[in-house]
Amino acid sequence: MADSTPDGVERRLPTDEARELIALTRDIARREIAPRAAEEEASGRFPRELFTLLSRSGLLGLPYDPAYGGGGQPYEVYLQVLEELAAARLTVGLGVSVHSLSCHALARYGTEEQRAAHLPAMLGGGLLGAYCLSEPSAGSDAAALRTKAVRSPGDGGDWVVDGTKAWITHGGIADFCTVMARTGEAGARGITAFLVPGDASGLSAAPPERKMGMKGSPTAQLHFDGVRVPDARRLGAEGQGFAIALDALDSGRLGIAACAVGLGQAALDEAVAYAKERRQFGRPIADFQGIRFLLADMATRIEAGRALYLEAARLRDEGRPFGRCAAMAKLFCTDAAMQVTTDAVQVLGGYGYTADFPVERYLREAKMLQIVEGTNQIQRVVIARHLVGPESR
């Protein structure tokens, strides 16, 4: 089964249902997302109602079990939906990716009772999630996190969580948070995962960060001040949290890669349309070899990135190791998005540097993708470890 990207390139879709999902996504993107993107990003407005629409349309839980309200789709299909959403507006594509990441720990490591109690509302009930790993002093070195969860004696085994999480997408607006907190020894083995309600007493958000781009996507610190969490909301075993976090990030990096390809595709489409219309020296600038070569390189980077993230997705869908390929996809696709959006600005010249055209926004947004869910320097560390083993100590 095949379908086409906006520039006419054929893509593989495994089923008729997948084809229908892509068509539905494109329709929502065209009618509901893209027309509002520039204005709402400029004003910093988060489009919560769009996430409600995506939830009702079955697009917010695509890779998860239908028994709990998910879509039961392979990652190969889910990521192509993300690409379409990100091409319309990165705030939406990234938001869906982060929400899916926030559901991962419960879906994979929760008990049957936990999944039945919480997953349906998370996947299809209009809720929005946040993933809480990073801290002000623990970013790339996430195993050094300091947020603590301590058992409270005499009240049924509740945990009390204290600390601060940083760089949290949907911070302050999320309905639930997947939180990694220290419950034991220093390092990776002392971390446990918890599912915390967004309205829990003692949980508060700092004002959103003032960012270069992605102004419509709130990013904020979350403060945990004596937040009580029942042991029934602990995900996995005590001390398993860091392994759970890394497992989630392998999949999450593929979401970022797909979003990067979508953003790059949007920039290329804008550059091609402009090059065909803009005339200099009596003819369209698309006639000039310098522009044609620039567009050809942009398209090649996008196609290479798409092929790489889809290959990683197929490995995941087949139950094969995919961590190295996921790191490669995140690295390559986000670097490609940075280069493609830079080149798109160049094709538009002075107009590309103005807010009258979307490519300047795409350029600012692309930079963020090289940083989130593991900087691209960390991706290189991950890839090298797969190749030659861990560093000598």
Among candidate residues 270, 303, 373, 391, the one labeled active-site is 373
| Annotation marks residue 373 as catalytic | yes
351: three-class secondary structure by DSSP: helix
Distances (CA, A) of 326 to 118, 146, 233: 28, 28, 29
All residues at 6 or more sequence positions from 221 whose CB lies less than 8 Å from its CB, including other chains: 136, 164, 165, 166, 167, 168, 171, 205, 206
Pairing of strands 129-132, 219-229: unpaired
Name 150's bridge partners.
160
Long-range contacts of 182-186 (CB under 8 A, 24+ apart): 182/145, 182/146, 182/147, 182/148, 182/149, 183/148, 183/149, 183/150, 183/159, 183/238, 183/239, 183/241, 184/238, 184/239
Chain mean position to CA 116:
25
Q: Which amino acid is at 366?
A: A
The answer to whether 270 touches 344, Cβ cutoff 8 Å, is yes
Q: Looking at the annotation, which residues are catalytic? A: 373
